[in-house]
Structure 1
Amino acid sequence: MSVADLDQSLAAAGELLRSAGRADLADRAQAARVRAARPNTVVCIVGEFKQGKSSLLNALIGQELCPVDDDIATATLTLVRHGEQADAVVRYVGDDEPKAERIAVDEVATYVTEHGSTSDRRIERVDVLVPSPLLADGLALVDSPGMGGLGAGHASATLSFLPFADGLVFVSDATSELTAPELDFLAIARERCPDVVIALTKTDIAPEWRRILDLDRAHLDRRDLDIPIVPVSSALRQAAFTARDRELNERSGIPELIQVLAKRVIGPAKANAATRAAGETAAMIRSTESVLRAELEALTDPAAAERLREQADAATQRLETLRGGSARWQTVLGDRITDLSSEVTHRLRGRVRETTRIIEEQIETLKTAEQWDGLAATLQSDVADTVTEAFVSIETGRGSIRAELAELLAADDVIGPSESRQFDVLDTASMWRARDIDPSESSGGRAFRTGITGLRGAQGGVLMLGVSSQFLPQAAALFIASNPVLLGAGALFGGFQLMDDRKRKLQQRRQGARTQLRSFTDEVQFEVMNEITQFLRSVQRELRDEFIALIGDLQTSWTAAAQQAQQTLAAGEQAATERAAGIRAMLERGDTLAAGLDELAGGAA
C-alpha cells in the first residue's frame, strides 16, 4: 500500500465531505489522515539493572536524557515521545487526586533515579517531550526500571505491560550470555508481545561480543524463540554524534536497530493505523452519500421533496429521542457496563482468592531462603497477570458493547419506511465496523485468550502519553507498571530468611507470611477495584458520547438535506438542475474514493 496514495485519498475525502456541507466529517477525515501519518507506537525498553537501558534510549533519540552513571539506576517509569519543544512532567500518586508538576528537562535525571526527588510525594512516572527525528512519526519509548534478577516486582509488572505495547526491546550487555531467567522472561514476553528485539549492548567494551552473540542465538534457537539480536554500542553512537562521523555511527549498530524496529514494530503500526483511517473515512463518505441521494431524489421529483421534508422531520424527532437518557440503547449501555463490571470483578476476586489459597498451601512446605524468594516471585507474577487480565477483559468488553450498540441503532428504522428509499439511512453499523475489536482467541500458548491481538493498537487514534483526562488501556498498563502495591510482593517475605530449622521459628515465620500475604492481596484488590471502577465509568462515558455525537451527525445531515432541497426548489428550475448535477458529481467522486479507500484498507490489512 502506498502511503502517498492513502494520504491523497484521505485529503480528497476531506475536500469532498466539506463540499457536501459536512465540515464536521471533513475534520474527522483530517484527524484520520494525521493518525495514519503518525500512529502512536509504544516500545518498551526493559532489562536487568546496569545493562545499558538508559544509555540505549539516549543513543536512540540522540540526546543525553536519562542518567547513565554506574552508581545510580533508573527507578521510575519514563515515557519519552516527540515534541516540538523539550518539556517534562512529573506525575505523582497520592491519597487525593493525582498531581502533575512541570520540570526542566535537565532535571529529569533527578526524578527517575533510585534516589528520586526530595519530595514526600510518590512519583508514578515522568513524561518527557523531546524534538527527535526518530520519535517524530509517533514512536514513544518507555524506559522501565531495572528488573533486578528478573524476580522482582518490576519484571512481572513489565510483562503485564506488554499486551498494551506495540514492541519490546530487551537489553542484555555483551559481557555475558543470556541467563536462564532472561530466557524465561523472553519466552513469556514473546507470547504477550510478538514484536520483541534484543539489543546486545556494550560491544565497545566486550572484545568477545561476537562469541556472546553466537551463544545467545543458540540459546534462543533451543527455546524456539524467533527473536532478532542487534549488537549495539551506545558509546560509539555518542562519539559518532560528537564527531559527526557517519561510519562510526554505522559501527555503533544503532541504525540497524532502528531499521529492525521500523520493520517489525513501526511498520505494522502504520499499516494498522492506515487500515482504520481508510475504513472510517470510507464509512463517512457512504453515510454522506445516503443523504445526498435522498436530496437528489427530492430535486428530480417534486413529490419526493415533500416526502424528504416529512422524513427529515420524523428523523429529527426520532433521533432527538435517541439522544435522550431514556433511549433503549442507553439503557442497554448501562446494563452491559454493569454486567461487565460484575463479570470482571468476580473473576478478579476469584483469581486472587485462588492465588492466595495456593500460596498459603505452598507456605506450609517452605524451608529454605531460596524457596521463600521464589514464592514471592510467583505471587508477584500471578497477581500482576490477574490485574492485567482484568483490564484486557474490560477493553475486549468495550468492543463487544460498541458492536451491540451499533447493531441496535442500525436496527431502528429512524426515518420510517419508504418504498422509494433503497439505502440504509442510519448506517451506524458501517460507521463503526472499522472500530470493532477482534474478539477471537489467540492460538495455543498465549498467556491471555481474551483478544490481546485485537486489543493492541485498537486505541491508536488517541494519544497514550500525557493524557491524564482519559483512562485508556495504555493508561491501565501504566497503572500496572508503576503501581507500588503491585511491585511490593518481591519484598513480601524479605523478613523470613531462615536462620535455623527449629520448628517453633519456622511456624512463626509461616504464620507471619500468611498474614502478610492476606494483607498484600487485600490491598491489591482495594486499589485495583478502585481503578477498575474509574476505568468502567470512562468506558461508559466514552461510548455514550461517541454514539450521541453520531446521532447528532445524522440529525445535522437530514436537517441540512431537507433545507437545501427546499431552498434549491424555491430558487427555480435552473438552480435545482445545477444542484442535481453537483450532487451527481459528488456521488460519482464519492463512490470512487470509497472504493479506493476500501482497497487501501484491504491492502494494509
Structure 2
Amino acid sequence: MTSWEAGTTAPTGPASLIPHPRPAPDPLRGAAAGDPWWMDTMDAVIRTCRAHGRADLADRLARRRARLLHPQLRVLVMGAAQQGRSRLINALINASACGVLPDADPAVPTVVRHADAPAAHLIRRDSPAADWTAAVGLQARIPLAADRLGASLAEAVATLPAGAPVHVEVGVPRSLLAGGLVLIDAPALPGAADVPAVQDLADQAGADLVLYACEAGRHLGDDELALLAGLGQSFPGLLVVLTKADYAPDWRRDLAECRLRLNQAGIGAAVAAVSSSLRLHAVRTGDETLNRESGFADLLVHLRKMVEAKPDRLARATAGALGRLALQELAVPLRAELDRHGAGGSSDAAAHLQATHRRLDDLRKCTVRWQNRLSDEVGDLMSDIEHDLRERVKALLAEADEFFSTNDPAKSWDEFEPWLREALQELATTSMTWLAERTEWMARRTADMFPPEAGDVLPPSALAITDGGVLQGVSTLDAPPVATFTPGQKLFIGLRGSYGGVVMFGLATSLAGMSLINPISIGGGALFGGKSVRDESKTLLKRRQTEARNAVRQHVDDIYTKLNKDARDSVRRAQRALRDHFTAVTEDLQEETMESLRNAKAAADRDAAAREAHGRRLSEELTRLAESHAQAQALSDRARA
C-alpha cells in the first residue's frame, strides 16, 4: 500500500496501482452476471417513444442505456452550498481533488476518476447542455498542475470567457476508484432548485447514482424533499448523506428523523451520517476505530456494493424506473385525449349537425309564425279598409247634405254632379293607394318572421299584388226627377189661398156695412194667395232637396258597396299572392336546410366513426403502454428482490 492510500480505501490484498480492467459487457447480451431482460424492456420503451414522436425522450433513454452498459459507476454528489460536498469526496479518496478554488463554493464541477498517476485537466464543453461523458479534442483539454491544482485551476478559469461551460477532470491512483467508481462534485444547488433542471444536470453529467449531501442537524426542507423525490424516480439507489456529524449534538436522532421524513414522503433512499474531519484524521493517524466512527466505512461498503450491482440490480432498477417515467409521460397526453373523447366533447361536424337541426326547427316555427302573422294582418286590414271607406263616405255625404241644404237641385245639379263624381273618384284612388301601402307594409311585417339568414324574402314588388283590385271610374249620377211649379199651379194655389182671405176679410168688413167683396177683402185675398204660393214653393224645394239627398246617398252607397267589395277582393288576392310567395320561400329554405342536414348527418356519422376508431386506438395504445409499464415495474421489483 502506498503512503497516499490508507484506511479502508486500501485493498485487503497486495496493492496494485494498475488494477485489472473489468471487461465491458456485451451490448447484445448484457453483463456477464446480469440479466439482459432490462435491455429488451428499455429498447421497447425507446421504440415506443420514437413511435409517439418523442425523439428527445428516446435519445435521453438511449444515452442512459449506453451508460448503464459502461462498467464505471458515476456518482453525482450534490447539495446546497456549504454542506460539505467537496470535503466528503476528498475524505473518500484521501486527496484534495475538490473544492480547491479560492472561492468558498466554486461553480466549476469536478469529476474524480482513477488514474495511474495524479493528473488534472480543465475540460471545455461545446455547450452547457453537452454530455460530460462525450469525447473532446485536445484543444478542449487544458492541462492543470496536479501539485498546485487550486492555483492552476484559477489561472485556467481566468483565461476563459465568463460563463463558459467547463468542468475539471482529476485522476488519482486510488483502489476505490480503480474498482470503477467515478465521483462528480456538482455545483451548489440554489435555495429553490428546479427539479427538471437538476435532473438535466445529472443526465448531462452522466450520473448513474446521486448522492445528496446535507449537513447534520439541519432538517430536510419541503423543497429538498421534492427534489429528492424527483431524483429518486430517475436514479434508483439514491443516497442521502448527513455530513458534519461531529458538529451535530445528536446526529443519531437527526439520522432517524431524516429516515422518517424520507419514508413519509415515499422516497426510497439510503441514509448515512459521516464526518469528513474524523475520516481525514483517522486516515492520517491510521486509527481504524476513529475511521469507523466517522461513518465512512459503511459508506465505502455501500458504494462498492453499488459498483458491483450496476450491471445487474442497479441496471434493472434504473431501466425499470426510466421506463415507467417515460411511459407515464407518453400516457399523459393519450389519457387526456381519451378523457376528452369520453367526456363527449362535440366535434365540428356534430356541432354543425346540431346547428342544422336547430335551424330546421326554427324554420318550422317560422312557418307557423309567418302564417299567423299574415292571417292577423289580413284580418286587421279588412277591418281597417272598411272603417276607412265608411268614414270617407260619411264625410262626403255630410258635405253633400250641407250643399243641398242651401241649393235647389233643379238649378244646381249640373254644378253638383261633377263635384260628386270627382269626389268619389278621389275617394276610390286614395283608398286604393292606402290599400297598396298597407299591403306592402303587411308583406314586410310577414317577412320579418323569417330568420335573418334567409336573406331578403320580400316579393319583387308588393304593390303589384293589388293591381287586379284597382277600381274602375265612377259612373255619372243622373238628376233625380223633381216636380216643376208651373204658372197654372201657381194660379190655382193662389186662388185657393186667396179665397179664404177674401171670405175672412169680407165678413170682417161686412160688420161695418160694407159688401163681402170690397177692396179690403180683395187685398186680403191677394195677401193670402201669395203666401200660399210661397209656402207651396218652399215645400216643393224641400221635397226636391230630400229627393236629391236620397239619390246621392243611394248612389254613394252603391259606390261604397263596390269599393268595399273591390278592396276586400284586393286584400284576398294580396293574401293569396303573399301566401304563395312565402310558401315557396319556405319550401326552398326547407329543401336547402334538409340538404344541409343530410350532408351534416353524413359528416357527423363519418366523424363519429373516426372518433370511435381513434378512441379505440387510444385505448389500445394505453393498454400497450400499461403492459410495457408492467414490464418496467417487474424490472424494478426484481431489482428490489
Place the TM-score, normalised by the shorter chain, in its bin: 0.3 to 0.5
Between the two structures, name the one with larger relative contact order (CA 8 Å, sep ≥ 6).
Answer: 1
Larger Rg computed on CA atoms:
2
Q: What is the TM-score when the length of structure 1 is the normalising length? A: 0.38
Q: What is the TM-score when the length of structure 2 is the normalising length? A: 0.36
